[in-house]
Structure 1
């Protein structure tokens, strides 16, 4: 820790100039004691040395050097915040999973409420809920979770997502999409998350959900002027049902586009590859920017 006089001696800049830089640029800010005395840290000292070196070596003004330093510090802060968020998501995933395994919904709800009050709900759902569901599936397959625990946790998280789905407003003249799981397909949370993603971006999603029979799909598409059909398929055995649905779509006069997600997409025939979308939020965002549903 250094006082302003010591800093002045170390870098060869007067205390008056140091105070002016602090007030003018607001980049290098020393802390203050209760009496108002400025206290500079080692980081403050290194920053001041960097500014002076930048001025000397690159022939820039103090103002330009301060702007450059500010950009560097902002990028560093964003990187550190990103790492912190990743660590926080991992810990939050662990804590909520542990609470739900023991049927402690009170504690789980408290943790989720705190997360949702500080982070965007899409981030929480994708970086916390999805990893929990993956872990639930893995533990169930290893027989380390009971069927009751698997159902309980899945339904609990689904209810949390549904709350946002129902409360998310849509535009006055929204584009319409249909979200369905083919016959026999019972895993629908991925489809629900994707439907919520679309609603947040102004698309009116008719969410039918799991184990949808093929009958009447044509009338739903026609009556509601559906522009996009969203499928979710998690089991290879259900690919045949998905193909039946796609054949029905292709019969439509104004054929809507369709997108397919879920664990089983990697086993779909080559002809469907252009319609496959991963479960990553960043891939959804890129896909949405590239499509033209309004045409």
Structure 2
């Protein structure tokens, strides 16, 4: 599959005129010409352009970035970087089968937690900046499928603490929530995953049924402080008396608002568990 220069420019952020100038000055990239004499780019060429764009963002001059990419083919990169480049390359041309194949190869060669923390989650965080909507949907769906399968395959202790995981209403990015559930399950927690776009009424029903000790909410969607206050206030009331811990970039911007409604904030699984232990210790002392 090949792509036209207009598509390459849109996906990489490199203007068509710039790509043509690089071709004249540096001999990079080297597109083919189709029957209509339009420039078309192969998957490997698309990936090399993306690598150059990334190096420029990191501060390299154009000539240095192009030289580095030309001197280090994808096959000579460290294994994890090769997998990342192959994944992005497949997604760029909307080859879902190849992208999923790459994720499968990575899973077979890595332990579960490094696979999640050093490959899947960084890919998920980067795609909003790298991809258009169609490609982001394709890529995020593949990664969420992997995370969900890992979560369902894990065992938890039958007497472990219970946690309910959800994204608040109108928040649909559940990748981080799935990774959190996986980590907690591997620590022995019993996980009830409600997932994306969960209204307060659903949180209340779930808490009434399973009586969790902790409710973790992932807020990725950006909201104004007042909107977030209303959403979290409803969630805290719906989940009482369980501790509510919130994470994600949508909450990080409004910590004062978050604390004002009685919720806590955590960046990592370890911080979340520590907050639960503190709350449990305080309750036992009381």
**TM-score between the two structures when normalised by the length of structure 2:** 0.61
Question: 1:1-295 to 2 correspondence within 5 Å?
Answer: 87-140=78-131, 145=132, 147-237=133-223, 240=226, 242-251=228-237, 255-270=241-256, 272=258, 275-278=264-267, 283-285=268-270, 287-288=272-273, 291-292=276-277
Output the CA distance in 2 between the equivalents of 1:197 and 1:213. 24
Partner SS for 1:285: helix
Pair 1:195–1:287, CA change in 2 (3 A) = same
Residues 100 and 142, structure 2, Cα contact 8 Å, conserved in 1 = no
Output the CA distance in 1 between the equivalents of 2:197 and 2:256. 24
Output the CA distance in 2 between the equivalents of 1:252 and 1:215. 7
Residues 245 and 272, structure 2, Cα contact 8 Å, conserved in 1 = no
Pair 1:236–1:114, CA change in 2 (3 A) = closer
Partner SS for 2:198: coil
Give 1:286 shift.
Answer: 5.4
CA-based RMSD of the aligned residues comes to 2.8
Larger radius of gyration: 1
Residues 183 and 238, structure 1, Cα contact 8 Å, conserved in 2 = no
Output the CA distance in 2 between the equivalents of 1:174 and 1:195. 13
The equivalent of 2:41 in structure 1 is: none
Residues 162 and 211, structure 2, Cα contact 8 Å, conserved in 1 = yes
Pair 1:264–1:114, CA change in 2 (3 A) = same
Residues 171 and 197, structure 2, Cα contact 8 Å, conserved in 1 = yes
Give 1:87 shift.
Answer: 4.4
Give 1:181 shift.
Answer: 1.0
Aligned length: 201
Give 1:138 shift.
Answer: 0.3
Output the CA distance in 2 between the equivalents of 1:99 and 1:168. 29
Give 1:208 shift.
Answer: 0.9
Give 1:249 shift.
Answer: 5.0
Deviates further, 160-169 or 245-254: 245-254
Output the CA distance in 1 between the equivalents of 2:227 and 2:214. 18
Gapped regions of structure 2 (runs ≥ 5) = 1-76, 282-286
Output the CA distance in 2 between the equivalents of 1:164 and 1:188. 14
Partner SS for 1:215: helix
**TM-score between the two structures when normalised by the length of structure 1:** 0.60
